[in-house]
Amino acid sequence: MTNVPMVKLNNGIEMPQEGLGVLDAGNFDEVKQAVLDALETGYRMIDTAQAYYNEEAVGAVLKESGIDRSDVFVTTKVWISNYGYEAAKDSVEKSLKKLQTDYIDLVLLHQPYGDYYGAYRALEDLYEAGKIRAIGVANFMPDRYVDLVQFSKVTPAINQVETHIFNQQWSLRKYLDKYNTQLESWGPFAEGKNDFFKNETLKNIGLKYGKTGPQVALRYLTQNGVIIIPKSVHKDRMAENLNICDFELTDEDLKSVRALDNEETLFFSPHNPETVEMFAKFVKTGDFDFREDGE
């Protein structure tokens, strides 16, 4: 099995630094196969969400894989239609059943809208009850992140946000470091935007190590301490994405990749009123599609 480095979270538990994201990974059978392939390849962390509608497929694999439950780190996320204390608590109980497990390793609040305070209180209580091993948030920018930290009992262990070579989140990291919250990247390949897969800087660095540009991008993130969840439904690509621990970028390499940072989102800004309206519409209509709008 590939030796994936472990990252210690602020409550002392450890999680693999790389896992498989299953956003938009297909129907039940396709997601199930992708997760099985990932586990066979050496992955031991799977990232799903209530809003991905594939917790059941992940749960089926956990039950059938033959791998001890304690050896697979599972993340899910509470969707904003389930915010508020009681609704969030009930939704996590439903996620537990769908995942066919007695506990979830990490549960995040998926977006910083609606009654996320009530939802976070629910996560705190479920954490204290031992049904969740760690709790955190996703897509919380510095203002809302710091606000939540100041008025919560349990500091988020993770903040999962858009993080890739074109949006490296250095401003956010300053506050995550201050309060000891781990940065986790969604979209480490920038969903192919900005000609990511043809980027000459990444390609030229990769040639020195016999690696691809995407492998360099992933290594850049992990070498900077970021947890990553690249998505793929192809077993050979999964293996390639995991094969990034046998080389180290030099200071010059790191400087070159850091220079690619535009400090701008390629998907949506949590600060824009239009973004709030978009997510409010998702909740009210139940109609949303992450393929256009990001995580």
- Residues of each annotated binding site for substrate: 110
Pairing of strands 182-186, 158-162: parallel
Which amino acid is residue 7, in one-letter code?
V
- Buried residues in 125-153 as b, exposed as e (16+ CB within 10 A): bbbeeebbbbbbbbbbbbebbeebbeebe
Identified catalytic residue from 52, 83, 113, 127: 52
3-state SS of 11-39?
CCCEEECECEECCCCCCHHHHHHHHHHHH
* Residue 53 three-state SS: coil
Query: Binding site: which residues?
Result: 110
Among 91, 128, 101, smallest CA distance to 46 is for: 101
220 annotated active-site: no
Q: What Rg do the C-alpha atoms of the chain give, in angstroms?
A: 18
**Gap between the Cα atoms of 258 and 165, Å rounded:** 7
DSSP 126-175: HHHTTSEEEEEEES--HHHHHHHHHT-SS--SEEEEE-BTTB--HHHHHH
Among 88, 70, 99, 183, smallest CA distance to 136 is for: 183
**Gap between the Cα atoms of 281 and 295, Å rounded:** 16
Among 106, 28, 94, smallest CA distance to 60 is for: 28
* Residue 262 three-state SS: coil
* Residue appearing with tokens 């938009």: 24
The catalytic residue positions are 52
